[in-house]
A and B are shown apart, each in its own frame.
Chain A
């Protein structure tokens, strides 16, 4: 059952909670949701899982951007409540009608909510039943045929809508609009959440409510997990493929692709077909709908490129800019967002992250009123700027010197471990950090724990000699974890304040080396795990950081694994205005950029200037 449903303002005042449900929530799921999801520009996601000792909740939410309201539903994770999305949409609709910024108590909403909930539950129940009765009837009749026909039709349809540009595009748009209306606001709201609903809901999707199941199928898109192949998810990826091809070149190759694909499905995946066919009852209808909604994106693009400038006269756009547009809708935002995403990607932001950011910005703007004398693009730009500043502003203190002093008081050395892939400049920047610390009257010791690469110890020794600081080394072929441990003991003995541990570079997929790193970190429990990444990296930044974090978490033997605490961005002087790696890394890990290496000499170590980065990113 639903645990709780809250309505609160973006300012943080709870306007209404369901007293009837009355269950006190364990822990603070709402605050956690806000802090680690909504404020981290991840509000484009579909749901959030909250884990606390003894409970695990799933939270779903929706915004009313114009009124600045947030609606959150909380329920136990083990229950797959399928009416929640629908219920939230209905509550949103009803509540926005009675909302008044001056009012803070809405006791009269209780009754409305009770009704809405009953309605939603009843509908879900009904659909569940009808689905269950439907299934056996359709089960074994003309399995292969219909499946084939269905998918054929699907591909043809998509072709049709793809091949002809203007006219068909308009038609499809009309269809889409109709579709949107019949589904109500709800579906449109869900669109930015693509690809986040995971496999776990997959198993239950055949008993899901109508809207919801459709939705899930759509959101599943590329990420299909094939145990229970839904009616729609089969043609889905195909369409994705054609969509991409469509952008790259013209018709001929893609027709080929389209015809091979269903054959492929028939030929190879026998098991799949049976499962697919078992559900075929509604599949044709669903396929149709999916096509219309799926081609929506590209049709939109076409429409925007081709017909929009023609349709919208100079005067009407002028008028709109003066009067302020009523409410921003997804279609209005799309071109601006696309331009912004492309802009971010030319600045070397990983594609995945640019996409997520745009979704989040879209979610925060949809339904908002456009102010007078502003354009959509500038509004989107401003929202994105806010979001970027928010992401890049460090969540925790990055004042290392203070932590060093705190450690000094406890008579412990402050241990920093430098990790990263090969050749990003770990040792060089370790020396720079050492130099910086030395300037602030902190006694530093280096630990050469790169016992792998030839010359690594010598390299560090050279740095140590030039900086006149002690170095702890044990030659090669030693276990780095043990070397680090001895180094720390040595530092405690001779009273060094900071130990900088150099490790061997390793690729994030190299399991044995990652295990060794995990051991080193677990054994020595450093104060700071610094990930060294080069600013030149593009899409790989996401992979590197997420894998490093993942491996550190997976391979650690302790229940509370240490993850990456901070980032050192190197080779920043080589990238001109392509500063996207900073954003990618911070977004994916949540760790702040603590240092920026920007040159060849010891002095070339800077702090990240958030403002200038944001400015460069949006230039």
Chain B
């Protein structure tokens, strides 16, 4: 009981000690209120609004990141027409032509064909990754946030480049980030306006055939130096794209002529407006 008494005493003392502070605080509060009264209400509201909006923005950014991204990655071998496709999708024309890219092109924009459309249109974040084999490691930076991959193939010079095309596609299709997130892939046969261009069906079959060969040779490499994280297709069956866990589709396009409707459709399917 004595202990309690002592406690109470101490509490009283504390209260007495705190009294001046309390008064001080109240004074400050009064001052603050007075000060606020002096400020015109519009400014006050504006300040509150700014605070509110900024927090909202922060939250929305986080929300957007959590929801599906709007990044579409353009990839493929060097010289297949990725940069042209990028500018056609963005501006509607390839301007004065392109040369081999040394750095990725990136942009967030509303597709050129949809600029005149009414209503809310979600803009697309398009990345054009250089195709030169020395620059391929760059692709890994963009894949984790990709909502879709457009794999551009040169339909005219297809046959000589078929092995390397397939190998690159194989690498992409077996990347962990692609398989786990089931990122859809569109094989876009570019330059289809040319007379000598191969049809997309032919290209699809050739790539499937080539990947079948790759599967044999890649799975043979001993476990220690496997750079791919997943194997492709079902063992014991001939490979076809339908076996992939992510959707793989084929489309025609012509960057220079501006015929990119199928690519736009693909983008719209995976970046919902």
**A-side interface residues toward B, CB under 8 Å?**
6, 8, 10-17, 30-31, 34-35, 38-40, 68, 70, 104-105, 389-391, 393-397, 399, 401-402, 404-406, 436, 439-441, 606-607
Contacts and interface: CB of A to CB of B under 8 A. Distances in A.
A401 B83 CA distance: 33
Interface in B164-192: 164, 167
Q: For chain A, what secondary structure do more than half of its interface residues adopt (helix, strand, loop), or is it mixed?
A: mixed
A393 B83 contact: no
A389 B137 contact: yes
Contacts of A399: 167, 214, 217-218
Nearest to A404: B217
Contacts of B102: 10-12, 34, 38-39, 70
A157 to B, nearest CB: 42
Given A31-B100, A104-B91, A393 B225 contact: no
Task: Find the residue from A15, A105, A439, A607 having the highest chain B CB count within 10 A.
Answer: A607
Given A399-B218, A401-B217, A401-B220, A393 B137 contact: yes
5 contacts: A12-B98, A12-B100, A13-B98, A389-B137, A396-B133
Contact of B136 (A10, A104, A393, A439): A393
A391 B95 CA distance: 32
B123 interface: no
B87 interface: yes
Interface residues of B, number: 37
Contacts of A441: 220
Question: Top 8 A-B pairs ranked by shortest CB distance?
Answer: A12-B101, A401-B217, A11-B105, A10-B103, A440-B220, A607-B225, A34-B100, A402-B217
B135 interface: yes
A404 B220 CA distance: 13
Given A393-B134, A401-B217, A440-B220, A8 B99 contact: yes
Interface string B210-254: 000110111011101100000000000000000000000000000
Nearest to B94: A13
Contact of B105 (A13, A30, A105, A389): A13
Interface in B150-170: 163-164, 167
B41 interface: no
Nearest to B164: A397
Contacts of B221: 401, 440
B224 A606 contact: yes
Contacts of B104: 11
Given A390-B135, A395-B134, A405-B213, A14 B220 contact: no
Contact of A390 (B79, B134, B213): B134
B44 to A, nearest CB: 33
B101 A10 contact: yes
A17 B99 CA distance: 12
Contacts of A389: 137
A77 B100 CA distance: 23
Given A13-B105, A104-B91, A606-B224, A393 B97 contact: no
Interface string B115-140: 00000000000001010111111000
Contact of B83 (A11, A17, A30): A11
A440 B222 CA distance: 9
Contact of A12 (B83, B214, B217): B83
B99 A34 contact: yes
Most buried by A among B91, B96, B164, B220: B96
A537 to B, nearest CB: 24
A607 B222 CA distance: 11
Contacts of B218: 399, 401
Contacts, number: 105
Contacts of A13: 83, 87, 95, 98, 105
Interface centre among A11, A394, A395, A439 (most CB of B within 10 A): A11
Given A12-B102, A14-B97, A439-B222, A402 B213 contact: yes
Given A12-B99, A31-B100, A399-B167, A405 B135 contact: no
Contacts of B132: 35, 39
B77 to A, nearest CB: 12
B112 interface: no
A399 B137 CA distance: 18
A39 B132 CA distance: 9
Given A10-B102, A34-B99, A399-B218, 5 more contacts: A12-B83, A13-B105, A14-B99, A402-B214, A439-B222
Contacts of A397: 163-164, 167
B78 interface: yes
Nearest to A606: B225
A404 B102 CA distance: 33
Nearest to B78: A35
A400 to B, nearest CB: 9
B153 to A, nearest CB: 17
Nearest to A611: B137
Contacts of A17: 96
Contacts of A607: 225
Given A39-B102, A399-B217, A12 B130 contact: yes
Nearest to A442: B220
Contacts of A10: 101-103
Contacts of A405: 213, 216-217
B99 A30 contact: yes
Contact of B101 (A11, A40, A396): A11
Contacts of A436: 222
Given A13-B83, A606-B224, A402 B99 contact: no
Nearest to B100: A34
Contacts of B99: 6, 8, 12, 14, 30-31, 34
Contacts of A440: 217, 220-221
Contacts of B100: 12, 30-31, 34-35, 39
A30 B79 CA distance: 13
A16 B99 CA distance: 12
Contacts of B135: 39, 390
Contacts of B105: 11-13
A40 B132 CA distance: 11
Given A39-B132, A39-B134, A14 B101 contact: no
Contacts of A12: 83, 98-102, 105, 130
B231 to A, nearest CB: 15
B7 to A, nearest CB: 52
Contacts of B134: 39-40, 390-391, 393, 395
Nearest to A38: B102
A194 B164 CA distance: 37
Contact of A14 (B96, B133, B216): B96
A39 B218 CA distance: 28
A396 B134 CA distance: 9
Interface in B68-101: 78-79, 83, 87, 91, 95-101
Given A12-B99, A12-B130, A402 B163 contact: yes
Nearest to A397: B167
A38 B102 CA distance: 8
A69 to B, nearest CB: 11
A8 B224 CA distance: 43
| Residue among A10, A391, A441 having the largest count of chain B Cβ atoms under 10 Å | A10
A95 to B, nearest CB: 15
A34 B130 CA distance: 12
A6 B96 CA distance: 11
Contacts of B225: 606-607
Nearest to B136: A393
B159 to A, nearest CB: 14
